[in-house]
Amino acid sequence: MLKLGVIGTNWISKMFVEAAETTGRYQLTSVYSRRESTGREFSDDAAVFTDLAAFYASDIDVVYIASPNSLHYQQVKQAIENDLQVIVEKSAFSNPKEYEKIYSLLRLHPNVHLFEAARHIHQPNFKAIAAKVAEMPVISGGTFVYEKYSSRFDAYLAGEEPNVLTREFSAGALTDLGVYPIYAIVALFGLPDSVHYFATKLANGADGRGTAILRYPEFDMTAQFGKMSNSYQHSEIMGRKDTIIIDNIAELENVSYNDGVGDELVISDPAPENPMIAEANDFAAIMEEPETHANEYKELLLTSQRVNLVLTDLRQSAGIVFPAD
């Protein structure tokens, strides 16, 4: 049983803990929160800490980090230095400079694994998409969409500066909702040759929505995402005549394959109630049997690094600078 510590007491932390405990492979033992009352509300049974050093020294094997993006680097660094396994929410780091420092630190702690919690690429329906892509003789391009109105945008309109929409926290549409389509594209097709991001910027310089183009040798992939509006447009990967149709690139509830000559085949299974169960299982398997799953771990880490590079290149193309840069 992996003893789990959690940094961050928001809804996504709650969802991950529920998923982790559902697998039967984790037990929540420690919670870090800036306020003890918030930590107590999060868990009745776990030990609650308001001091990060004391939290890292507590009875945990793996830490799940769901703090604002700009805090990830220092918190991950401290976890690795304490020889703890690390699961960090996307976006993992603000830029490749931070990632390279963490990667160098991992070399000094060979028993530590670092996972970026990109839950959708672990789901069986995403693996069904990847298998179908591998069968398609030609890829002509595609578009992935994830636009979801954020309640925090209401706060921004009211004159506030919510964390998820400020450059100071390495945040904005690209490094929040945009991670889902970008991660899916890179996981399926690897590093693009070039990228460009057309961002709709807020008054504070952060991006509220935007369209990213990832150019590959034979095709382009377009990612459309944002926190200022809702979109119900499907995502798709186009072959020559055939097409993979995805209801939502983040949730992946319904996926079908249209062969272009009259037949459409559903290739998805019913989605689990908690979409984080698959990643929790995958991470546990690697931590419990690292030698057996060494290649799988290397691929996950490589994809995470590639996504970090692409996100940074996209930001720079739109002239978005984070203080962490």
Which domains, from first to last, does the chain contain? 2-118 (3.40.50.720), 121-278+306-317 (3.30.360.10)
Check: CB of residue 77 under 8 Å from CB of residue 59: no
Nearest to 301 by CA among 155, 103, 144, 127: 103
**256 strand-pairing partners:** 245, 266
Amino acid at 32: Y
Reported pTM: 0.96
**Averaged in consecutive runs of 10 residues, what is the pLDDT profile of the chain (325 residues)?**
96 97 97 93 94 96 97 98 98 98 97 98 98 97 97 91 95 97 98 98 97 98 97 97 97 96 94 95 98 97 98 98 97
Query: Bridge-partner residues for 145, per DSSP?
Result: 224
How many angstroms separate the CA atoms of 266 and 204, rounded?
A: 44
162 vs 141: CA distance, rounded Å = 35
The answer to whether the Cα torsion of 197, 200, 204, 208 is positive or negative is: negative
Residue 274, burial from CB neighbour count under 10 angstroms (0-12, 13-18, 19+): middle
d(CA 291, CA 65): 25
**214 membership: H or E segment, kind and range:** strand 207-215
So what's the pLDDT on residue 262? 86
